[in-house]
Structure 1
């Protein structure tokens, strides 16, 4: 168990609600923004820390196990039962503990649990006062905040951007010392310094409301004012940089006043004056934040102005257009080599393998990688040739990686040629922390692919390689997928990403309505991105149901799979698959007639006693009955024929006759 997870479990044992915070890696916030204004202090892996902060041990393990780089956030307030006084006494002119004790008329530091922040500040923690309701207060005095309802602190052993860790005082930590109630004098002090009456600038300049101002105001008031302090400050800085003078300040005051527990006019004027326009934040930040809350930019619905002269003078790019009948032949020249199931995997393919937790996504992907590396058979379809494959993973510790690999790779049963092929064409990583939203990490992956000649890369799981990204945010997902597009375009690699499906009733409703692929997190972005989608659903008795959505070939029918640990491979369970009146696949009782087995044997005899599986299936479909023309029926027929000892399949996927008995006349 890593140190961060150990501390996280200790915090929840105290009843404190916690959640993950971005950490610091190589001096930079793990959100990937090198200019982050809240390095190592803002939430990661959650959409709403207020709703998702928890004391659930399993959820804590999901977040922190294997992610030592994360920092820990502790939600303060009534639900966690704590209140924190946040002093930045190291700053010039900052309000100090001694000054507060003088104003409160009593001791504070002597009874508090004390945490040193790593940046020179201190958190003084107390039991939440009974019968009170205290919201978080920002800058009651210079360098002094109160973290209570609606607030949070970063907790040990988190790493500060200074390079130092947050630490508890040896004898003043919450495990050695029981929390004391915040003294009444301190409670009264906090209440005295809360002023919810906004002070507006009222100079005589006219109120100008151009379209840009209306657009800015429209976006701002879509954002709830109870955002975190850092985002609140960033919004203020963005308004300050909008060049609207006092109108922007008044707008900030009006918007902030919708959240009285955070709105402190006595400090806002000071904050506003401290903003430096030359080093400020672009107003576009406000539009980006507003879109997360459902705001639609009216400018997007405005049509561009067409100027005929511009069209006539501009250089015309026709490289992506095919003309006339020749389009059929010209387009065919661009067709890539198909490696598996025709066009399900090919150079430049983008693939998503998705499913709920514990559906075997990683094992499925690893089995596919292993077979791709040796040009072997996967789900009864042979890879056309060995493909150099990299499994890029971020979940399994290097020391335990061999256990996972041994489940699917039995070196004792591989031929010398297969062992050599596997050594040459298969590679995997230890658990690594890379952020594909970071240019340096994306270039690292491109360099590995190019220099080592990898043709097929599996990213497992996608979300671990884009920490902090919100899958439900189309803009953020589009940004990530655009970067992956650039990687694929530059390297021509076939890229498969492992991803999760949504949980809860909404997913169940989508599955019930046969809109299964909409259950993938970020589906509205991903479904327009991938060439091939594979969705895994867990069934009874350890079986997995696989569904396929393939753009560049006829559909692959659903399959019921089982991981055969003895054979160390995924096998397809025998079943009859049909479509119901809604066009959805359902499973009936297996129907494999003797006449279909005879038909398969006859096909093989007509072609010299053996055929590659794909050709055997094509010929079988020509001769069998109408109800037997599906891929699943062919699989069932083949299985029955093998079980009867009439045919066999070799490692290369060729089907050949063993015995011929009771052949019926041609025609079924």
Structure 2
């Protein structure tokens, strides 16, 4: 196991010079400190500020001087166990050996998770010789860390709000599933008739609640409408929008057909394609350009991801 002790400093410096024969590196990264930590003759640990100061001055600084005195140094370090409120009040005190570290670095970044049930992290920023900077809300999306809009962060009653969010997503998922199942059973509905038919079923609540959820789903593009369902044996409705339609909806079960000449078995289905959608800006019923291509409104992709995970 390699330690950044006196012998380790010499060996690492030689290895760096061998790897960069033409010019020394501009940045030296130690990730994490724990794997190379040497607390000095007293053998102190990372939480010992005296041992941490020894490591920083007698090991890290000596290594930089040996490699490139002008090089920047990045240190990756773990936090110690601390209560949530302590991390919130002064995040950088949660670092092991915090006092020594904070007197050594010129800038610090600390990432922590305020809510264990959420994937979002807080990125705290500390400048030794600069103005205070606000923290950032970040999350990993498609394998990359991205900054989130802090205005979307719930500040009051977070746990209760998260439960309400989850319940809304559950109702959305149930409604979409019901529409698919009903269409497979050769049953189509207008928004009002669906709300009245499934009132207090599947945990959806009253017909008014169902109508509200359908309205939101239509605005986001999860629900569209079919004005003329006569090909399915349904009359044209006087409803403002038409019959409810969701992506992948099929009328009745798929039917297997056998080619008498070749004996080939094919499966045919009757897709229910939308003719109109709800404009997210005006709320008006507008005609769909291409019924075969389902388009969601901008910003609805996250809802779709959460609903697919539900």
Q: Could you tell me the TM-score, scaled by structure 2's length?
A: 0.42
Q: Could you tell me the TM-score, scaled by structure 1's length?
A: 0.20
